[in-house]
Amino acid sequence: MPEPPLPAEVEALLRKPNPAVVASIRQDGTPHAVATWYEWRGGRILLSMDKSRARLRFIRANPAVAITVLDGDDWYRSVSLFGRVVELCDDEGLADIDALAQRYLATPYPDRAHPRVTAWVDIDRWSFWNSYRETEGLDGVAPS
């Protein structure tokens, strides 16, 4: 799989508020995958989660994650990002989840009662899939 930086076509896909799934690893080694909001910021992925979420416990124990983003207009195009959570911090004032809610819903995040944690993911590798067109280095297979 190719390493960053990502080509312009892949970055354009990540800049849109597309459906995404984040996978982490449970303490027993099995995968845990859930739908998520994300934002691509300066070569990193921002995620937000309620402090009580199981995935937060899994990420604290093992920061390796995979995030697959589906093109909301064409689900035969997707990018999978592989990396590590390099920073976890309390989302004071819910600024990060509000930014994500604005991105996806065009409104602030409605649940103000539960504390949230922001996760920053650095990307090590990526894979892009576009079933209708093969583009060298962008077809989901790293060039040899």
Position 133 scores a pLDDT of 60
Residue 75 — very low, low, confident or very high, per pLDDT cuts 50/70/90? confident
From residue 61, alpha-carbon distances to 27, 127, 133 in Å are 7, 25, 39
Query: With pLDDT > 70 as the criterion, what percentage of the chain qualifies?
Result: 89
Average pLDDT taken over every residue of the chain: 90
Q: Which two tokens stand for residue 18?
A: 């597309």
Within a domain: residue 46? Answer: yes
Within a domain: residue 54? Answer: yes
Mean pLDDT for 15-20 is: 97
Within a domain: residue 32? Answer: yes
- 133, with CB counted inside 10 A (0-12, 13-18, 19+), is exposed
Position 139 scores a pLDDT of 44
Within a domain: residue 14? Answer: yes
Within a domain: residue 44? Answer: yes
DSSP-assigned beta bridge partners for residue 48: 118
Position 18 scores a pLDDT of 97
Structural domain that includes position 123: 8-130
User: Which residues have C-beta within 8 Å of that of residue 106, sequence separation ≥ 6?
Assistant: none
What's the predicted TM-score (pTM) here?
A: 0.87
